[in-house]
A and B are shown apart, each in its own frame.
Chain A
C-alpha cells in the first residue's frame, strides 16, 4: 500500500493509460512535467518549424498541441477534417503546463508516437430530400420572378 502511494506521488512516473485532455488541463499542476500517454486523432495539419513540428490532436472532447522533435519521424497520412478521419495515434511524452521552450504554452513534447489506426478519406452521401427541396425553392423563386414580370407588363 505504501509503495503504491509512493509511486503515485513520485515525480517522473510513467502513466500507461491514456489520460483525457480535459483531465490534463484541469489538473495541470499535478501532471506538469510528468510522462503521460494519450490516444488521439491528428487534426488540422502538421506545421514544421526549425527544430521539429507541431501536431494538433483531438480526443473527441478537446484538442491540444503536441511538439514532435525532428528525431521522431512521424508524418501523418491523413489528418482529421470534413472528409477525412485522421490517424489515431498513441503519444507518449511529457506534459508541460507552461512550456519554457515554447513561451509558456500548455503542450506535450512527444517522445514516442505509435500509429493505432491509419486515417482515411470517406465518402459522404448526398441528402436527396435536401436537394429536392432546394430545387423546389429555386423553381418557386423563378416562378415568383416571372409572375412579377408579367404583373409589371
Chain B
C-alpha cells in the first residue's frame, strides 16, 4: 500500500520552491527584450510575473526547508506539479498583454509553449509585442529541454535524488554518469545550435528582404521553436509569412536536428558519424517518414490541386516533416488542410504526428525507439515460430550500442504506446461529444497529445472551455509521457485515503 506523509509534502514543496525560484529568472529574461525594443508596458508585465515567482519560491523554500533525499514517490509528482505551476505563472504575463480572451486561454498558450506543442489561442498575434512574442518562444526553448534540466544545468548545485526528477520529465538517457553533466551537455548543444541556426536564418532573412533587427529577432524565435519542435512563430501566417523556400529549407534541417536523440548528437560530435545510419531510432524514423510520405502524396494526387512536383514537395513534404518531427510549422492555412487535403493525406499526417521522433530529444509522440522495438519484437516472435525448436534466437537492436531485446524493453514500449493511443482517442471522443467531426477531432487530439501543434481549425478562441482543459491536460501528460502524471494521481489518492 502507498503511504504518504507530511514529510513527502514538505520535500515536494521545498524542491518546488527551488525550481520556481529558478524559473523566475526565465520569466525575467524578456525584460531585456522589452528594454531593447522600448516596450514599456510589457516590461512591467514580466517584472510583476518574475517577482511573483521569486516571492512564491522564496516562501516555499523558507517554510518547507528540507535536506532529505528525494525518492520516487516524491520526485515524479514533484515534476508534474512543477509543470502545472510553471504553466500558471507563465500565463500571467501573457494574460496581462490583453491578447488572450481569458486566463484559461493564457494557460493554454503557456502549456502549449512549455510542452512544445504550438497550438495557439493568441488574439491578434500580428500586433503582439516583441517582448511577449519572445517569451512565447522562450517557453518552447525551456520546455523542450525541460524545466528540470534548466534548473539542473544552471541554477541548482545538486540535490540528493535529483535523477528521479530528471526521469520524471520523460528523460531516461544519461549521456554522462552524472545527471548534472548530462543536463549541461544538453544545454551546451542547444545553445551552440541556437547561435549557428539563428545566424543562418538571419542571413536568409536579410537576403530575402528583411531588416537586420527583424531578421535577427525572427531567426532567434523561429530557431527556438524549430529546434525544440514547438511550432510557434511570431506571425499568424506561421512559416508562410516569410514567402521563402530557403527559410523553409533551413527550418526543415532545424526540425530534423531537434528530432534527434541528444545522445546521438553526442555520438556524432564525438566522431561516431556511422551511428546515424545504424541507430534504431534514425532507421525507424526514415522508414516511417517514407511510409507516411507515400500515403500523403497518394492522397494529394487524388485532388490534383498542386501544379508541379516541386509544389507537392514544398507543401506535402514540409507538412509531413513538421508533423513527424512534432514541430507544427506550417506553410499552408488550416482552412486549406480542411478544404483541399483529402482523407488519405490527413491519415498520413495523423500517423506521422502520432509516431513522433526520438527519445531524449525535444519531440513528442510515441517515439521511434518504441516503434522500432515493437517491430523488432514482432519479427523476433515470427522468427521463433519458423526456426527449428532446438535453435535459439536472440533479438538485438542497435541504439548507440548493441542491446539484447528482452521482455522488459518490449513491455515498456507496448505500455507507453498503448497509453498514447488511448489518450489520442480519449481526446477525440471529447471533441466528438462536443459536436466536432471524428477525423478532425482525432487530428487535433493527436496533435495536442503528441505535442505537434498542427491544427485543422478546432483550436480557436471560441472552442468550449472543457476542450481547452482537455487539450491542456493532453499536452501536459504527453510531454511528461504519463508515468509522472499517474504517480501524481496515485500520490493524491494515497493522501486522501490517509485523511
Contact = CB atoms under 8 A, between A and B. Distances in A.
A10 B235 CA distance: 36
Contacts of B68: none
B62 A126 contact: no
A134 B51 contact: yes
Contact of B243 (A58, A100, A105, A137): A105
A130 B44 contact: yes
Interface residues of B, number: 48
Contacts, number: 120
Interface stretch (A11-19, A77-85, A87-95): A77-85
A138 interface: yes
A104 B306 contact: yes
A28 B58 contact: no
A40 B48 CA distance: 36
B332 interface: yes
Interface stretch (B148-156, B203-211, B396-404): B203-211
B222 to A, nearest CB: 14
B127 A44 contact: no
Contacts of A70: none
Contact of B39 (A64, A82, A105, A133): A82
A22 to B, nearest CB: 7
B241 A127 contact: no
A100 B307 contact: yes
B243 A25 contact: no
B51 A141 contact: yes
Interface in A17-69: 22, 25-26, 28, 43-49, 53-54, 56, 58, 62-65
B44 A127 contact: yes
A18 B332 CA distance: 22
A130 B208 CA distance: 40
B173 interface: no
Interface string B298-318: 000000011110110011000
Contacts of B243: 47, 54, 65, 102, 105, 107
Contacts of B340: 28
A144 B59 contact: yes
B44 A98 contact: no
B128 A82 contact: yes
B39 A45 contact: no
A113 interface: no
A45 B205 CA distance: 12
Interface string A111-153: 0000000000000101100110110011011001100100000
Contacts of A56: 126, 235, 237, 241
B333 A140 contact: no
B310 A103 contact: yes
A141 B331 CA distance: 46
Contacts of B227: none
A124 B40 contact: yes
24 contacts: A25-B333, A25-B339, A26-B339, A28-B336, A45-B211, A46-B209, A47-B210, A48-B209, A56-B237, A58-B236, A62-B236, A63-B126, A80-B127, A82-B127, A82-B129, A82-B130, A83-B39, A100-B307, A105-B331, A106-B332, A134-B44, A137-B55, A141-B58, A144-B58
Interface of B: 39-41, 44-45, 47-48, 51-52, 54-55, 58-59, 62, 96, 126-130, 208-211, 214, 235-237, 240-243, 245, 305-308, 310-311, 314-315, 331-333, 335-336, 339-340
Query: Closest 8 CB pairs between A and B?
Result: A104-B311, A47-B209, A137-B51, A82-B129, A134-B48, A48-B209, A43-B126, A25-B335
